[in-house]
Structure 1
Amino acid sequence: MILIYTDGAAKGNPGNGGYGTIMKYRQHEKELSEGFRLTTNNRMELLAVIRGLEAIKVEGIPVKIYSDSKYVVDSITKGWIWNWQKKGFKDKKNVDLWKKYIPLHNKYKPQFQWVKGHAGHPENERCDELAVAAAESGQLKVDQAYENENR
């Protein structure tokens, strides 16, 4: 099973933000992170999941994602995104990211596990460190979709 741990952060909401993702498969481990100059916490939480799924190189291996984001976990496990999709995402936020997520979901069919944030879960704590460091780095990218939508 491929294990993916994720977290997002935003300094101000909106503000500069970042995500952290840890991927584990057998003895392999990989860390991913990026920072953005203007974004939201929910966008970074969802982007962390997307980037983890995008980094998978082989299909057919079960995937389990650990996230402390109720927004992400509930939207998927409670099926809200499928209703949003049917309604064309009318009045929903982060449509660009949900549209990126859906084909990845269909491809990998990940299981989700919510974990309490800042509660001593080692991988969640490390993802938080990665996300905060990315948000505070001098290497901030432009979250084009967010900035265009909120001009």
Structure 2
Amino acid sequence: MSEVLLFTDGASLGNPGPGGWAAILRWGSHEKELCGGFCHTTNNRMELLAVIEGLAALNRPCHVQVITDSRYVHDAIVKGWLPAWQKRGWKTADKKPVKNQDLWQRLIALLNRHHVDFQWIRGHAGHPENERCDVLAKQAAQAPGLPQDPGMA
């Protein structure tokens, strides 16, 4: 099974507002940058989408180390929030609907395809790949003609 590093970040210029996501995939000596955006979205959606798009770009099952500055994404996986939400019928512990369910469901399918570990890093702390993803995500959020985020009502 191939070993892959996946660095991710998401940005929203206003929350909600125009947003972008970015991912850097690294396996061996190869590296690929991915990014995209929407005209009206949230930061959390973009953080999630960065992980989803990075994992979706892999054409075979891999062992993936996701490096993210998103506590939202990291904690949902590492602290077991995601399976708890599913068990409660996509409700939070205080019985409210889970936000971004459409993206969480996409992520679940990808987590079932790959062996994925998550590592949290502090954002804007000089981590080269995190800084690069931040730049790419912000550029994507400012691109002209961004489409609508289908998950935003």
Give the TM-score band, short-chain normalised.
over 0.9
Once the two structures are TM-superposed, the CA of residue 103 in structure 1 deviates from its matched residue by 1.1
Q: CA deviation at 1:62?
A: 1.3
Query: In structure 2, what is the Cα distance between the partners aligned to 1:65 and 1:71?
Result: 13
Moved beyond 3 Å, runs of 4+: none
SS in 1 for 2:37: strand
CA distance in 1, matches of 2:131, 2:137: 10
C-alpha RMSD of the superposition: 0.8
1:58 aligned partner: 60
C-alpha contact 1:2 1:25 (8 A) present in aligned 2: yes
After superposition, the C-alpha distances for 1:84-115 in whole angstroms (9 at most, x for unaligned) are: 01122121100000010001111113000001
Query: Residue 30 of structure 2 corresponds to which residue in structure 1?
Result: 28
Q: Which residue of 2 aligns with 1:113?
A: 119
**Distance across 2 between alignment mates of 1:139 and 1:28:** 31
Aligned pairs for 1:49-88 within 5 A? 49-59=51-61, 61-88=62-89
Q: Per-residue CA shift, 1:48-72, capped at 9, x if unaligned?
A: 000000001122x311000000000
Where in structure 1 are there 5+ consecutive unaligned residues?
none
Structure 2 match to 1:46: 48
Residue 12 of structure 1 aligns to which amino acid in structure 2?
A: G
Q: Distance in 1 between matches of 2:12 and 2:119?
A: 22
| Structure 2: unaligned runs, 5 residues or longer | 92-96
Residue identity over aligned pairs, in percent, reads 53
Higher helix fraction: Structure 1 or Structure 2? 1
Question: Residue 18 of structure 1: CA displacement?
Answer: 0.3
Match of 2:10 in 1: 8
